Structure 1
Amino acid sequence: MRRVARLMFAGVIALMPVTLTGCGFVPLYAQQGLTANMAQIGIEVPQTRTGYFLEQNLRNGFGSDDTAQKRYMLTVKMTEKRYGVGFRVDDTSTRSELNSSVTYVLTDAATHKVMYQNSFVETVSYDTAPSPLTGVIAQQDAQERVASAISRKIQTELAVYFHEKK
């Protein structure tokens, strides 16, 4: 009985890709030229610690070639706020949130025409510690994590934009 169930399960798994082809499903990066479009995006971010991490993540995610002429320009504006969210009896913070409000615009580098724009808020939390050193390290880690989350969201939205544009 187990053997029959395993064979049936294997058959269902083997047929799944065939059934998806009929429904119109196309993987996002299957489109020709999508990666090339993403690599042609110039990046302008705020000159902050989080901005630095964001720029590095975007460059890696887009597969940017710094020597190539950029066809598009991505301008990202960001404001960060830190909030204490967990407090001890003596009113010192035990937990904090880093809240980043992000607005970005993709423009054509030649015409400066706005092609896509969006805004969103990304929040991460981190432990605050009585030791100044561990507090700084936790805050820096939160900045890296929020930059990574912002980068993933921007990359995904622009990939979908270029995918649908074609």
Structure 2
Amino acid sequence: MKKKAEIRKKMKVSLGCFDSVEKARQTAEIITQFQLSDVYKQAKIIGVFLPMPFEFDITKIFEDETKRFVIPKTLADHQMIFTDYEPDNLMMTAFGVKESMSTVSVTPDLIVVPGLAWNLEGYRVGFGGGYYDRYLANFRGKTVSLVYDFQMTSELQPEKFDVPISKIFKV
């Protein structure tokens, strides 16, 4: 089994080289699958991430005005909350990610969890900060990830603090 750091490095390279036409095709197909799913239809408040250029571009779902979208905000000690997504109330963080200037915490009933790689059991390799695993340790709602075909790996060995994702949407 490979270490998470090795998997992280490999996936960042793969994502950076991903063909833009194929990326757009897979993104559209996966988002459609997700939006047609019961887990999406039943959710009222959905936690989503604002992607970096190489990540899965989930921003198309913001067009759905029937849902309330919340985004992560990082806090001290690797803690995280979700705050309402308000495009005019964002700031750039030290991580190069936009997040809300608000500190009003909102609990989603569904979270779309980002990452770099996943195994078949739903365990993931994130970016190494542990924010999501800490948050998910006490989260009682549903979790999903939207994943490009090459991001699935059998090389990932979960650690005791890792929290698996309930459902993975992929092509």
Q: After TM superposition, is the score higher than 0.5?
A: no
TM normalised by structure 1 equals 0.23
Answer 1 or 2: higher relative contact order, Cα 8 Å, separation at least 6: 2
Q: Which has the larger radius of gyration?
A: 1
TM normalised by structure 2 equals 0.22
Larger relative strand fraction: 1
